[in-house]
Structure formats: structure tokens, C-alpha cells
């Protein structure tokens, strides 16, 4: 009896590991679109309590995205994520009020929204670039 249970268990394991699956679902990495990163990201500490971030929008943005491109800035204060702001009109600078006793990290990203023609049903409508990290201490 013990031999039958062992054989049945082995057979069940082999069948479950070799069952059918849709390889396309596993291989699908999502979209074949990318958003370039913001360029020339820099900061100026205007005074002890104000920091201005500046950047430029790359000249080549895929035509699959609507203009204007949005800019997303994540704010990390003393290694704790605090906030995220989105600037929607391709702004190229933003000023933050800071506490001089704290350390800040800003992550600047571009966010593109697909045009009507390029939007796929069931897919995300936006693509976010990799972030450029700026440390302010």
C-alpha cells in the first residue's frame, strides 16, 4: 500500500509540473515603449530653506505620447518617502521649502501618456521613465 501511495504521489507531482501553461503570458514583459529620462538634472540651494531643482526635457520624445509630458518628483526626507508631485505642463524647474537640519533626496522622472491611437485596451495609459536622483544635504 505504501508503494502505491508513493507512486501516486510521484505521478501527481510529475503531472502538476508538466501541465499546460500559456508561455506568452509568462514572456510578456508589458509594453515595448520607453520614456527617456530627464536631462541635466541639477539643484540650487537658494537659501537655507529653499532648493530649486532644474532639468530639461529630452528633445526626442516618441510620437506615441501626448504632449505636454508630465514630470513626477518623489520627495524623500531623512530616508523616509514623504510625497510625490506631478507637474503637467513640461515645467523645467520647481522650488521646494526644506528644513536645513534634514537630508533630502529627490527623484525626477518623466511620465508620458499614450495618444488615443497608441492606447491598447487593457494596458496602462502611461509610461514612466527611470528616475534621476538628486541628493541635497
User: What does the domain layout of the chain look like in residue ranges?
Assistant: 30-136
Any idea how long the chain is? 137
Q: Give the integer Cα–Cα distance in Å for 61 and 59.
A: 6
CATH architecture of 30-136: Sandwich (2.60)
pLDDT at 14 over 90: no
Residue-wise pLDDT for 86-135, tens only, equals 999 999 999 999 999 999 999 999 999 888 888 778 778 888 999 999 99
Share of the chain above pLDDT 90, in %: 55
Amino acid at each position: 500500500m505504501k508503494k502505491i501511495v508513493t507512486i501516486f504521489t510521484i505521478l501527481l507531482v510529475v503531472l502538476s509540473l508538466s501541465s499546460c501553461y500559456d508561455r506568452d503570458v509568462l514572456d510578456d514583459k508589458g509594453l515595448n515603449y520607453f520614456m527617456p529620462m530627464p536631462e541635466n538634472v541639477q539643484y540650487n540651494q537658494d537659501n537655507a530653506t529653499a532648493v530649486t531643482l532644474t532639468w530639461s526635457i529630452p528633445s526626442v520624445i516618441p510620437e506615441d505620447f501626448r504632449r505636454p509630458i508630465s514630470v513626477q518628483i518623489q520627495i524623500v526626507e531623512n530616508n523616509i518617502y514623504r510625497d510625490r508631485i506631478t507637474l503637467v505642463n513640461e515645467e523645467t524647474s520647481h522650488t521646494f521649502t526644506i528644513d536645513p537640519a534634514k537630508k533630502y533626496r529627490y527623484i525626477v522622472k518623466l511620465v508620458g501618456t499614450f495618444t488615443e491611437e497608441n492606447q491598447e485596451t487593457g494596458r496602462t495609459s502611461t509610461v514612466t521613465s527611470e528616475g534621476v536622483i538628486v541628493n541635497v544635504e
